[in-house]
Amino acid sequence: MRHFKTDKPTGQKGNAIGQSFIHESAIKQVIGKAVYVDDKAEEVNSLHAYPVVSTIAHGNIVSIDTTSAFAVQGVVDIFSTKDIPGTNDIGPVFSGDILLTDELIEYHGQPILLVVATSYKAARIAARKVVIEYQTLEPMLDIKQAIKEQHWVRPPHALNRGDAKQAIDNAQHKISGDLDIGGQEHFYLEGQVSIATPTEEGGMFIQCSSQHPSEVQHLVAKVLKQPFNYVTVEMRRMGGGFGGKETQAAPWTCLAALAAFHTGKTVKIRLARSDDFKSTGKRHPFYNTYQVGFDQQGLIEGVDININGYCGYSPDLSDAIVDRALFHADNAYYYPNAHINGNRCKTNTVSHTAFRGFGGPQGMIMAEQLVDDIAYYLKKDPLEIRKLNLYKPGRDLTPYKQKVEQFILKDMIAQMEEEGDYWARKEAIAAFNKTSPIIKKGLSLTPVKFGISFTVQHLNQAGALLVIYSDGSVHVNHGGTEMGQGLNTKIAQIVAQAFSIDMAHILVNATRTDKVPNTSPTAASSGTDLNGMAALNAANTIKQRLFEFAAQHFDVSLEQMQLSDNQLVHEKGQISFAELINLAYLNRISLSTTGYYATPEIYYDREKAEGHPFFYYAYGLALSEVEIDILTGENTVTRTDILHDVGSPINPALDIGQIEGAFIQGMGWLTTEDLSWNEQGALASNAPATYKIPAIGDTPAVFNVKLYNSQNPATTVFKSKAVGEPPFMLGISVWSAIRNALASITDYQYAPSLNPPATPEAVLEAVQAAQQWNKTTMQTTTKETSHA
């Protein structure tokens, strides 16, 4: 594993880009001085709120008795739908996401009332004492039943190219398969938390843990029936988000604001971990099927893929999430004829939501399954089939008609084959498996091609506010949110590079809706792409002002002027950046400005199911080696080698950290993280005791991460590429390697289906399927020999 300890740039002074600066909050986080929302000192007479939630998955409310709750000492009030001045529907895109319900229950854990008390403990105790009588209805919990009944939260959408059916029918070989893909709990270290404070001007000041402060602002205003300028939202840092705070931070903030609106006091809401589990959405589980036709070499001729997202009770972001699953059902492979359909299935569970990858992983894993299945069917190595089907010039059009313009995966695979010693290790593993009766090893190299941009076009914009004080110090606000990924550090590096000044002169502060308005969520891996360009735009605006002022003031040529090493250098001499700024101030030159950026070239025509939804693609490879115990189903990742494309990196250390974390999180989704609902629709895996994220012991013993040497051909900030989501899907290599180990049981002629997560129980079931295949094949061979 590569470690970075550098806290100062090692290159040229004043050249911040490409240097491994330490994360701006790292020291504060390690020693406990980083302040999160729950750490903030409580105001005098502040109150606490806690939701009363349903204990059934589907039904109608018959009666509510709050007598025992009001009897709890400290209870101030209990609010219901009748106390909402404005809208009760807080759907982020489409209607259907209900803040409080007073009649219909659509999932276990749905908020019904809000208890407000003088302490957190009193509010939580009182919430449990509310007595609710229900008329229960049969919940819809089975995705296959929802598909059969066409029970959708949004209409289906499909991608089509050529004649997939005919191509499959005419192909020399055809196979089919399906996959039940589990969901994933976000498990952010900091849970959902918000503080709402009425202001003396008659507005509402919100401090919350949200990836989308502007959406929180807008929804709070709508719930309270106020204009947007009534609400100001501040977000300094999150203790993790991963998509779980893109839309689903808003309900709890709206409830805190509702209570503050009525009581006139500061109100804080913080969910206990078990309630956070129960009442917030997860990564969408999926049920997917495929048919594929191919030739004797393994070249794909046609695919028919059905993508079915398990959405929960409401739309939330499921339309866009299933869209992205469709867009990534090809991964890195060219499908000359394709039909890829996406369904958004309505079920009586909490509404599932954004999670790192945003549907991309659930689509991409289908591409990897069908490629593996082709390989085992033809008795070839899966890497041969992968290389054969890669996008390349002349085979460069995606099923949604976007042209792929960068073809670096072939070179990356060649580099990984050599550096990862793929073929020698494959041979050694095959030999080991023949002599090892219980432990089986597997090896898999899987690629990632991930599109970067919001698939909703208008979200691809960002703003920034840049202020330079008269002593030369710089203050930056931008529309992105810091959730641990290092966005603020990268923004500071971008501004430092623009002015050629040291990082110590720059402060990137909290995200606030009164500083930068109408912001997009920090999601879709676009935080640096969008906000970095906006900050750079602002810096360049002021830089141009300074150059024009200096040219006139010093009577020098504008063309020969440059900022370098904390100085302005011109043909007559030089002046320090701080002196230049003070001189500009004394001469009444504006030293503040806004910056703005909108991603060019992107569009998607939904009617035609074609367009250019992504500004560019990020690429990566992971080569993982695993061991499985065929008696217990236990599995271990012994080694992983990663080669990932981040373009020209702004901060290599932060990028490698993101790659490492994303891989482990992706590995967890596919191996240990098992979401489970019982027959009544209640979440059974609702705490760390029953839901297992990867621990340090699950990290590969050998873990090598390397950045691929490239530049982004698209015009991005300093030619960098996004790194938040793409490496998550590198974890698919672990799942594919486990299947490779299972295939060794059948001498690599058949790999049984393995529904993720590949828990020991799931692996053991697959082992038994492989052993049964051997038995059936042997019986068939014996009969044929006997008959002959």
Pairing of strands 173-181, 286-294: antiparallel
CA dihedral for 364, 367, 370, 372, sign (positive or negative): negative
pLDDT less than 70: residues of the chain: 1-14, 781-788
Question: Which class for 608: exposed (0-12), middle (13-18), buried (19 or more C-beta within 10 A)?
Answer: exposed
Report the chain's mean pLDDT, rounded to a whole number: 96
Amino acid at the residue 416: M
Q: So what's the pLDDT on residue 778?
A: 77
Reduced to 3 states (helix: H, G, I; strand: E, B; else coil), residue 207 is: strand
Residue-wise DSSP of 477-541: EES---SSS-HHHHHHHHHHHHHT--GGGEEE--EETTTS-SPPPS-TT-HHHHHHHHHHHHHHH
Please state, in angstroms and rounded to a whole number, the distance separating the CA atoms of residues 66 and 132.
9
Contact 130, 52 (CB under 8 A): yes
Measured at the CA of 155, the angle between CA 364 and CA 527, to 5 degrees, comes to: 50
Two structure tokens written together for 609 = 């199911």
Q: So what's the pLDDT on residue 516?
A: 98
Contact 247, 316 (CB under 8 A): yes
User: Helices 652-671 and 360-378 meet at what angle, rounded to 10?
Assistant: 70
Please state, in angstroms and rounded to a whole number, the distance separating the CA atoms of residues 697 and 671.
14
Reduced to 3 states (helix: H, G, I; strand: E, B; else coil), residue 297 is: coil
Please state, in angstroms and rounded to a whole number, the distance separating the CA atoms of residues 498 and 566.
11
Place of tokens 């999670």: 355
Pairing of strands 47-53, 111-117: antiparallel
Q: So what's the pLDDT on residue 15?
A: 85
Please state, in angstroms and rounded to a whole number, the distance separating the CA atoms of residues 621 and 125.
50
Contact 732, 446 (CB under 8 A): yes
Question: Which class for 502: exposed (0-12), middle (13-18), buried (19 or more C-beta within 10 A)?
Answer: middle
Q: So what's the pLDDT on residue 243?
A: 98
* DSSP-H helix ranges across 555-689: 577-586, 652-671
The alpha carbon of residue 371 and the mean position of all alpha carbons in its chain are separated, in whole angstroms, by 25
pTM recorded for the entire structure = 0.96
Q: So what's the pLDDT on residue 783?
A: 64
Please state, in angstroms and rounded to a whole number, the distance separating the CA atoms of residues 523 and 479.
12
Reduced to 3 states (helix: H, G, I; strand: E, B; else coil), residue 249 is: coil
Amino acid at the residue 461: Q
Please state, in angstroms and rounded to a whole number, the distance separating the CA atoms of residues 426 and 660.
24
Taking alpha carbons only, the member of 584, 580, 483, 576 closest to residue 525 is: 483
Cβ-based neighbours of 734, under 8 Å, separated by 6 or more? 444, 622, 624, 626, 637, 640, 666, 667, 670, 671
Kindly compute the dihedral angle of the four CA atoms of residues 609, 612, 616, 622, in this order, to the nearest 10 degrees: 10
Active site residues: 725
Q: At 382, phi and psi to the nearest 5?
A: -55, -35
Please state, in angstroms and rounded to a whole number, the distance separating the CA atoms of residues 365 and 464.
37
Please state, in angstroms and rounded to a whole number, the distance separating the CA atoms of residues 81 and 736.
49
Taking alpha carbons only, the member of 553, 548, 543 closest to residue 573 is: 553
**Using one digit for the tens of pLDDT, what is the confidence trace for 73-118?**
999 999 999 999 999 999 999 999 999 999 999 999 999 999 999 9
Q: So what's the pLDDT on residue 784?
A: 61
